[in-house]
Amino acid sequence: MSWLVGIDTGGTFTDLAAVDTETGKICTVKVPSIPANPAQAVMNSIEQLVAEYPVSWSDTDLLAHGTTVATNAILEGKGARAGLFINRGLGAIYPMRAGMHPTGPDLIDPYYTKPPELVSRALTREIRGRIGFDGQELEPLEREDVVRSALELKEQGVNSIAVCYLFSFVNPSHEQATREIISEVFPQCRVSISSDVLPVIREYPRLSTTVLDAYVGPVVSEYLEELASRLGNAGLNTQRFYIMQSSGGLKRMSLAVRYPNETLLSGPAAGVVFCQKLSEQSGFGNLLTFDMGGTSADMSVLLDGEVEETREGSIAGQDLGTPMIQIRTIGSGGGSIAFLGKDGLLKVGPESAGAVPGPACYGRGGTLPTVTDANVVLGYLSVDNFLGGRMAGNADLALKALSGLSREVRIDEVALAQGILKIVDTQMAVGLRMALMERGADPRDFVLVAFGGSGPVHAVRLGRELGIDKVLIPRFPGIACSMGLLNTVVKYVYLQSFITRFNSADPSAIAEGFEELRAKAMNDFRVEGLSNESSELAYQLDVRYPRQGYELSVDLGSRDGLPIIDLESTRERFHSQHHGYYGSSAPDEEPEIVNLRLVLRGELPQMKWSDPEVEPGDLLKGHRDAWFDSAGKYLSTPVYYRSRLAPGVQVDGPAIIEQTDSATILDPDSYLVVDNFGNLVIHLSGNVKG
Amino acid sequence: MAVDPITSQVIQNRLSGIVQEMQNNIFRTGYSTIVRESQDASCMILDSEGEVVGEHVILPLHIAALPEVVKAIKKVYSGRIFPGDAFITNHPYVSGVTHSIDMAVVIPVFIGDALIAYCASIAHKSDLGGMVPGTGSGNARELFQEGIQYPPVKFMDQGKVVEEVEAILRANSRTPDVIMGDIRGQVGTGRLGEERLKEVVSRYGLEVVLETFSDLQLKVERRVRSVIASWNDGTFEAETWVDNDGIQLDVPIKYHVRIEKSGERILFDFSESAPQTLGPLNVRPPLVRGCCYYAMVAMIDPELPNNGGLARVIETKFRHGSVLDPIYPAPTNTYMASATAVTEAVLQAMNGLVPEKKIAGMGGVGGMVIGGKRKDGSSYVQYELIGAAYGARNGKDGVSGVSVLLDNAKTAPIEVLETEFPVRLRRFELITDSGGAGQYRGGLAVRREYEILTSKAQLTLRGGKHTEPAFGVDGGMPGRLGACIINPDSEGSRDLPSRFGGEELKEGDVLRIEKAGGGGLGPLSERAWEKLLGDVLDGYVSFQSAQSDYGADPEKLKSAIAAWNGEE
């Protein structure tokens, strides 16, 4: 027997999914996360797996891990003591942070403060040497500056240095030489150079990303090395130990430590990747993904089964240009607190009761009304089913928490509960709609996939709010991220700046540029131990209209592993892609190539999806009263066991489907059909009952 | 019919969401560096009367301009507004546009035959003609020198581009392709808003949406009035100064406000401000009102929606013929310095009403334009907005290197500038000791130094604070002054004033721009030791200044620095 194991560290829980490679049997574990010692929580999840299931740890064939270590280092300010090397005279690039306020209240607030610099001015050094925009050397790199600066920073206890010079994305030689020199005089120091981390134009985002890399680097490598050694001691034999990247691909642990900034969205990315698998299974190409937990909701768009990538993210105000899955996070979750705003309107969140004290109905001392409390009052969630009945809840406490606010708003608790849900749903719907807008997509063409503990509860209402017809609830909504870890590929992205108009582009120069990128890719390919059959190279050009500042990636296609360079047809594809994204195009203009981009994908052993296990027994668990807007009252609503719904079964609304980590709510005008993989496909209209 | 508070909140969120979508669209499709890199553009939804109902603030001052624009369109085109139309205007007097280099684009939204709203945007243009590349000259003496003036005209008539208007636009710009790319983007953005707003109406019903429009304004009005009522009655005054108007270089310009607060009413009386200026410092009353909205929102609650409800509460008084209520056709292109100075005066005076919020003077605002021909003969306009610094706030140091108050432009990347324009950046650094000293230090300003790489170019500056520094508060010191120097540290070095137009530059010239620092707050002796030490280590405050201004013991400072450096 051999197992594929995915372990995802979340804010509240660490989830594990283990899949038998032969039979497809799925074992799931959920243990509390330990923010101060995340490796311990990972080990705990494994111990529980071995204790509860007939799994031998040494039979693990592949382990994939989503981690929050890098993110937490930033959120808590616990990264490395890092230094920064920049060009002489250009010390304002980092502290200026482009000089703009973020939008929203910070823009207006005269008390606004910039996010903290992760490297202080005192640990920043200016180095002589300059590259021009065309890659020509204008001034040679001053070796002495590098040597002296490295030794100074060494004295000051720095153990990680970021290097970002102008135009290194065109000509990286000064940055590379700087790294060499540092490694000669201060070999213990970790060095992040911007031409490796993010070789694209715009110095500030590149610098900020490189600083992030240097800042989290030592923390991430320490964590991963410790974890690897503990896993080894526990009997893990496989070399296939992977870390999830923000881009949704896996990297071998030994390579992942080289690019720690790429793990910043490790967890949420896995959830989106899981949806990509669902898209394949269900045949629904266009998915809107919705992962709602206790404190926040993550959203993303899959168009024709493809995830959307962004290169303008930020974590806690720190700007990050690394390609990552476009994930929109908003502060709405089950724990979001409702209150009366100063303008007399009802507000929900972003303040959250979190895991401690949690919603009032958890009975752990919370007294403020939360979204989960509203869901309890309206009968959607049962306090007897928290964590599958392993956690005792108290419905009276939910009601009590709402009654204080209901006096302030002057409506009864039930109306208030409805109001709380409407508001939180609207906020989430605005986020989902924004996510769709950026793809120029119409919600009516999409299926909503809801997961996370709270996602399935809100799914049908959100679907209606957005004008979506179908909602998909995966078999295990609470561990979707760890399942995602087992359903992805190895992925590397290589970039090279290549600025030229289409009509003056030299196809052979493009081919040469790609050949260089391919050589890099083949090197990683060998380290990963990939095979030709299981891997693929995708060649793309990043293109824009000459005056624009932002590019779209256009696929070139390939033959025998080499790019097909047909500029004519690529130009046409760009025009139509631009029209698709922004609703306009300028076919009379000659587009401009900005970057060559090469994506290496390698297949891993994939989990086998067997027929879902169906627990025998009566489908119906009982009835309880639940409020439905369309009825305008509480309806006695049947409650079903999720684990007993076999493929092909149809359930008509109103209905509640309960499982250990979530509940799915069907309103009276909807019905669901269980698909062959055990997912619930909910139809919001065209209710053909019976 | 009253819309319940929940539906009302839902629709408010939707409106703000639509404006965010519009905003993203305008930046992503923008052609000029001023739109896509500096992000000098705002979008809005206004009701059929031209009051703001949906906003997502990017540049606070634009909020005051667009209602005037819509009202001007209604006046000119009454009865002749149709679905598919798109209006443009850049006229500061006829349409209340900020200055004539900003172009407003407005799309009417119809449900059936009923005109229910407008989706509008305003965005800076790279060039619309006029005396100098970039249009706005610091030496302009009348509006007609500040580019061609477009009163409200149809750019699109029932879905079709009016070719004559496009031809006139193109013929009157040094960079026709760039401005047309940006205007196309603005029209597309307005259409997107139109489509989304129609979806909201079909979802919630026209009546509910219209009711919500007025409801949202009423709520803000009530809230603001109740906050005003909670303040003490009284009269509060303040004044601030700007260096000069670009023409009479030795005459500083005064901005004065007297706030009269009584019960739930508040009046901002600006009549004691300076006479209107020969040069382009003038700013029109709608924008001064916008400064008042901004100051009120900043002092009451930065999350307060800045909609038509706020406009109803604010009472203002101007003296016709003053710098804040100029007589047509007085020039206005460097209005932003005035708007900032007025806002600072208002914030200072409001300190009498909200004593817990104190803010020292700001490092100012201003744009810089270099324009000319590249070596290959093509024309270019390099338009930059460079942030300055915040004054200290009680409890907090000022922010360094940032756009201040109503301004929110992004500093263009050096790599974009050097790639697109014949220029090389030699320095971009924070200026040591530029923040006004104090218990809380003013923010530091930046220095930018450019080498000109083409044979002929013209420089226009719309800066400020070369002679009037950012003021300190409660014993804090003023910030360092700004400067503009050609070929610094050389024999032919020349200092230029804070606003001018068309200064000739030649190949190899070095242009140094120094922004002004923010003012300090509170007595210097109260500066916390750790903060002072940190500033010295970071190079924000020199050893010299720590010793002579702050009175730090040099020996103690030396040994603390040595300890930090790991030396024994």
Alpha-carbon dihedral A501, A502, A505, A510, rounded to 10 degrees? 110
* Burial classification of residue A184, based on how many CB atoms lie within 10 Å of its CB (0-12 exposed, 13-18 middle, 19 or more buried): exposed
Question: Token pair of A51, please?
Answer: 């204790």
Answer whether residue A667 is part of any domain: no
Q: Where are the beta strands (DSSP E) in A505-575?
A: 535-544, 552-555, 558-559, 562-563
Answer whether residue B307 is part of any domain: no
Same-domain check for residues A521 and A558? yes
Sign of CA dihedral A482, A483, A486, A490: negative
CB pair distance less than 8 Å for B429 and A114: no
pLDDT value, residue A688: 45
- Cα–Cα separations (whole angstroms), residue B369 to A202, B286, B501: 20, 26, 9
pLDDT value, residue B567: 65
Nearest 5°: phi and psi at A370? -120, 175
Q: Mean of the pLDDT values across residues A127-152?
A: 97
Least confident range from A394-408, A592-606, B236-250: namely A592-606
Number of structural domains (chain B) is 3
**Residue B319: half-sphere exposure toward Cβ, Cα within 13 Å:** 15
Same-domain check for residues B438 and B544? no
CB interface of B with A, residues 507-536, below 8 Å: none
Sign of CA dihedral A255, A260, A262, A263: positive
Q: Which of B12-16, B206-210, B245-249, B354-358 has the highest mean pLDDT?
A: B206-210
Query: Mean pLDDT score of chain B, rounded to an integer?
Result: 92
Question: Token pair of A80, please?
Answer: 């490395």
Same-domain check for residues B494 and B539? no
Question: Token pair of A457, please?
Answer: 């509860």
What percentage of residues in chain A have a pLDDT greater than 90?
52
Answer whether residue A675 is part of any domain: no
Same-domain check for residues A518 and A576? yes
Residue A92: band (very low, low, confident or very high) from pLDDT cuts 50, 70, 90: very high
Tell me: pLDDT of B228 over 50. Answer: yes
Same-domain check for residues B189 and B45? yes
The H or E element that residue B449 is part of is strand B446-452
Least confident range from A62-71, A349-358, A477-486: namely A349-358
Residue A689: band (very low, low, confident or very high) from pLDDT cuts 50, 70, 90: very low
pLDDT value, residue B268: 98
Mode of pairing for the β-strands spanning A662-666 and A671-674: unpaired
Number of structural domains (chain A) is 4
Greatest C-alpha distance within chain B: 83
**pLDDT one-digit tens code per residue, B193-204:** 998 899 889 988
Same-domain check for residues B422 and B493? yes
Q: Mean of the pLDDT values across residues A17-40?
A: 86
Mode of pairing for the β-strands spanning B367-373 and B456-462: antiparallel
Tell me: pLDDT of A355 over 70. Answer: no
With contact defined as beta carbons under 8 Å apart, do A200 and A315 qualify?
Answer: no
Same-domain check for residues A201 and A110? yes
Whole-angstrom distance, CA of residue A514 vs CA of residue A565: 10
CA distance B142 to chain A (A): 32
With contact defined as beta carbons under 8 Å apart, do B502 and B131 qualify?
Answer: yes
Same-domain check for residues A90 and A172? yes
Q: Does A148 touch chain B (CB under 8 A)?
A: no
Answer whether residue A660 is part of any domain: no
Answer whether residue B490 is part of any domain: yes
With contact defined as beta carbons under 8 Å apart, do B517 and B479 qualify?
Answer: yes
Q: Where are the alpha helices (DSSP H) in A290-386?
A: 371-377
CA distance B466 to chain A (A): 21
Question: Token pair of B194, please?
Answer: 């139109």
Greatest C-alpha distance within chain A: 82
With contact defined as beta carbons under 8 Å apart, do B307 and B63 qualify?
Answer: no
Taken as a whole, chain A contains a residue count of 690
Answer whether residue B296 is part of any domain: no
Question: Which residues, in sequence order, are CB contacts of B471 under 8 Å at separation 6+?
Answer: B240, B360, B361, B391, B478, B519
Could you write out the three-class secondary structure of B36-95? HCCCCEEEEEEECCCCEEECCCCCCCHHHHHHHHHHHHHHHHCCCCCCCCEEEECCCCCC
pLDDT value, residue B77: 97
Same-domain check for residues B35 and B66? yes
Q: Mean of the pLDDT values across residues A647-656?
A: 94
With contact defined as beta carbons under 8 Å apart, do B69 and B96 qualify?
Answer: yes
Residue in B29, B303, B359 closest to A105 by CB: B303
Q: Domain of A37?
A: 3-73+221-263
Q: Does B488 touch chain A (CB under 8 A)?
A: no
Same-domain check for residues A259 and A236? yes
Tell me: pLDDT of A33 over 90. Answer: no
Question: Token pair of A502, please?
Answer: 């289409």
**pLDDT one-digit tens code per residue, B482-510:** 999 999 999 989 999 988 888 999 999 99
Q: Mean of the pLDDT values across residues A4-33?
A: 86
Q: How many degrees, rounded to 5, is the angle at CA B240 between CA B236 and CA B245?
A: 145
Q: Mean of the pLDDT values across residues B51-78?
A: 87
**pLDDT one-digit tens code per residue, B295-309:** 999 898 887 887 888
Residue B427: band (very low, low, confident or very high) from pLDDT cuts 50, 70, 90: very high
Residue A110: band (very low, low, confident or very high) from pLDDT cuts 50, 70, 90: confident
Question: Which residues, in sequence order, are CB contacts of B257 under 8 Å at separation 6+?
Answer: B237, B238, B239, B268, B269, B270, B273, B342, B345, B346, B349
Owner of token pair 């040099």: B554
Whole-angstrom distance, CA of residue B20 vs CA of residue A423: 19
Comparison of pLDDT for A130 and A677, the residue scoring more:
A130
Same-domain check for residues A68 and A87? no
Q: Using DSSP, state whether B351 is helix, strand or coil.
A: coil
Residue in B396, B416, B540 closest to A201 by CB: B416
Same-domain check for residues B190 and B113? yes
Among B221, B241, B268, give the residue marking a domain's end.
Answer: B221
Whole-angstrom distance, CA of residue A145 vs CA of residue A149: 6
pLDDT value, residue A356: 67
Whole-angstrom distance, CA of residue A291 vs CA of residue B133: 51
CB pair distance less than 8 Å for B6 and A419: yes
Same-domain check for residues B460 and B550? no
Same-domain check for residues A26 and A110? no
* Burial classification of residue A537, based on how many CB atoms lie within 10 Å of its CB (0-12 exposed, 13-18 middle, 19 or more buried): buried
Residue of B nearest to A422 (CA): B6
Q: Using DSSP, state whether A223 is helix, strand or coil.
A: helix
Mode of pairing for the β-strands spanning B265-269 and B253-262: antiparallel
Least confident range from B3-7, B231-235, B487-491, B531-535: namely B3-7
Same-domain check for residues A504 and A582? yes
Question: Token pair of A37, please?
Answer: 């010692």
Tell me: pLDDT of A440 over 60. Answer: no
CB pair distance less than 8 Å for B16 and A99: no
Same-domain check for residues A595 and A515? yes
CB pair distance less than 8 Å for B403 and A584: no
What percentage of residues in chain B have a pLDDT greater than 70?
98
Question: Which residues, in sequence order, are CB contacts of A404 under 8 Å at separation 6+?
Answer: A369
Whole-angstrom distance, CA of residue A334 vs CA of residue A457: 10
Answer whether residue B150 is part of any domain: yes
Sign of CA dihedral A528, A532, A535, A536: positive
Same-domain check for residues A84 and A148? yes
Strand partners, B161: B156
CB pair distance less than 8 Å for A547 and B538: no
Nearest by Cα to B219 from B314, B295, B305: B305
Q: Does A310 touch chain B (CB under 8 A)?
A: no
B444 DSSP assignment: P
Whole-angstrom distance, CA of residue B11 vs CA of residue B204: 9
Q: Which residues of B touch A111 (CB under 8 A)?
A: 357, 393, 396
pLDDT value, residue A542: 92
Q: Mean of the pLDDT values across residues A661-680?
A: 93
Residue A598: band (very low, low, confident or very high) from pLDDT cuts 50, 70, 90: very high
B97 torsion bin: left (phi>0), alpha (psi -120 to 50), beta (else)? beta
Residue A88: band (very low, low, confident or very high) from pLDDT cuts 50, 70, 90: very high
Whole-angstrom distance, CA of residue B323 vs CA of residue B288: 10
* CATH code, A13: 3.30.420.40
Query: Mean pLDDT score of chain A, rounded to an integer?
Result: 89
CB pair distance less than 8 Å for B298 and A108: yes
Tell me: pLDDT of B83 over 90. Answer: yes
Residue A690: band (very low, low, confident or very high) from pLDDT cuts 50, 70, 90: very low
Tell me: pLDDT of A231 over 60. Answer: yes
Whole-angstrom distance, CA of residue A238 vs CA of residue A231: 10
What percentage of residues in chain A have a pLDDT greater than 70?
96
Among B221, B236, B262, give the residue marking a domain's end.
Answer: B221
**pLDDT one-digit tens code per residue, B240-270:** 999 999 899 899 999 999 999 999 999 999 9
Residue of A nearest to B42 (CA): A103
pLDDT value, residue A493: 85
**pLDDT one-digit tens code per residue, A44-76:** 999 999 998 888 888 888 999 999 888 888 877
Q: Domain of B566?
A: 532-568
* CATH code, A125: 3.40.1360
Least confident range from A352-361, A666-675, B296-305, B496-505: namely A352-361
Nearest by Cα to B469 from B344, B284, B287: B344
Answer whether residue B239 is part of any domain: no
With contact defined as beta carbons under 8 Å apart, do A486 and A190 qualify?
Answer: no
Owner of token pair 């650094």: B429
CB pairs under 8 A between A and B: 214
Same-domain check for residues B404 and B550? no
Same-domain check for residues A592 and A549? yes
Whole-angstrom distance, CA of residue A331 vs CA of residue A351: 8
pLDDT value, residue B315: 96
Q: Which residues of B touch A166 (CB under 8 A)?
A: 414-415, 418
DSSP readout, A582-646? Answer: HS---TTS--EEEEEEEEEEE--PPPP-PPPP---S-SEEEEEEEEETTTTEEEEEEEEEGGG--
Answer whether residue A436 is part of any domain: no
Nearest by Cα to A466 from B212, B208, B199: B199
Whole-angstrom distance, CA of residue A176 vs CA of residue A163: 9
CA distance B78 to chain A (A): 30
Q: Does B42 touch chain A (CB under 8 A)?
A: no
**pLDDT one-digit tens code per residue, A366-402:** 899 999 999 999 999 998 877 666 677 888 999 999 9
**pLDDT one-digit tens code per residue, B371-424:** 999 999 988 999 898 889 999 999 999 999 999 888 888 888 999 999 989 999
- Cα–Cα separations (whole angstroms), residue A649 to A624, B185, B509: 21, 50, 79
